[in-house]
Structure formats: C-alpha cells, structure tokens
Amino acid sequence: DEQIVIQAADALTGLLCASGTTRELAEAVVDVAGASPRRRFFQVLSHFVVGNDEAAERQRERLEYFGSAEGRDDLYRYNQREGRTLLEVLLDFPSAQPPLEWLLEACPVMQPRQFSISSAASMHPGEAHLTVAVVQWTTPFKRIKHGLCSNYLAALRPCASDGDTDAAADAASHVCGDSGDGARREGRANCIDA
C-alpha cells in the first residue's frame, strides 16, 4: 500500500496521470483482473523469476515455453481459452517478481463499462436506473469467472433512501441501478459509462 504517482509520457496511453496507493491503482485504474496477457508478457515475465530452487526453475521454464512459438497452443489453452487474467498468471507463478513499473506498463488501463439507462427522466427526475445482468460463466476447465463491473455493482449495499443528505452530497460519484434482483445498487462513476 505504498503511495505512488503515475504520469504518462505519451498522451495516447489513455492514462494521463493517477495517484494513490498501489492497491488503489490496481483496483481502480489498471486492469489486472480483467485483461488476459499476451505471449510477450510471458516472455518478459520469465526474466523476473527469482530464486534458483527447483520450483523457481520449473516456473521459469514454463514461462519461457509459453513465450515461445512451440508453446503457442498450450499458452492458448492455459491463458486465452480460460480467460486467465494478469493477476491470476502472477499468482500461478509466485517466483516471478516483476518490478511495479514494468507491471504498470504491461497492464492496460481499465476501460469503462457501458450500460443502458432503463428509467425515464420524467418518472424519476435526477435519477438514472440501470438494468445490469450479473455476468458469470464457467471456463472449459470448470473455473467460475465473474464479470468485473457487474459483480462489483451487485456486491454493493443498497442506495440510500430519498431525502438522505449524505447520499445527495455523494451523488456525483455514485450511480444507482437495478441489479436484476429488484434491489437498488450504487457504483463508482468510473466503473460505469451510461
């Protein structure tokens, strides 16, 4: 939870600047839990394996294999077909200890999720209701995967009732919507692009 500041050298990166703790940036700015890394990630990650014990050597060899042309089919089965995220890859290869700067470069910026407004402004002035299907699926290897934003919204506490002054002051950063189960939910504005 070290405090860091990121400033992009190139305005085309999509991330002009951000600051906060490492955890905050990992949760809200970079897409460690949604993006699936490509072959080049495995090639470079193999150089960050720490240790000379048998486990570290096996992990280094596996990462090198996934990064090679010969390992392309196995990488596809392990990574893309399973929808494995960058975070899951790092957890699967604990001997790989890449520097934070490299990880931030390797991670894409989290993209806004788009939802349709399902309420009429004339019926609910000052509110925007969303209908969001909670995304969940099973991978070919029977792993349960969850949609990032829809599950985030579903896990939030219900919105404050009308007339709550604290809720009114916080309205700029929260959006309320229907999770599909009839319960109203709120979410961070940077998670939702209505």
DSSP character string of 112-153:
PEE--B-S-TTTSTT---BB-PPPEEE-TT--EEE-HHHHHH
- Is the predicted pLDDT of residue 34 greater than 50, yes or no? yes
- Does the domain at 1-8+26-31+109-160 match CATH 3.40.1160.10? Answer given as no
Most confident of 51-60, 100-109, 127-136, 138-147: 51-60
Q: 71-81 pLDDT, tens per residue?
A: 999 999 999 88
User: Which has the minimum average pLDDT: 127-131, 143-147, 167-171?
Assistant: 167-171
Pick from 142, 193, 190: which is nearest to 27 by CA?
190
Residue type, 10: D
Residue-range domain boundaries for the chain = 1-8+26-31+109-160, 39-106
- Is the predicted pLDDT of residue 190 greater than 50, yes or no? no
Q: What is the pLDDT of residue 147?
A: 77
pTM, 2 dp: 0.62
Element housing 187 (H / E): strand 184-188
More confident residue, 17 or 66: 66
Element housing 80 (H / E): none
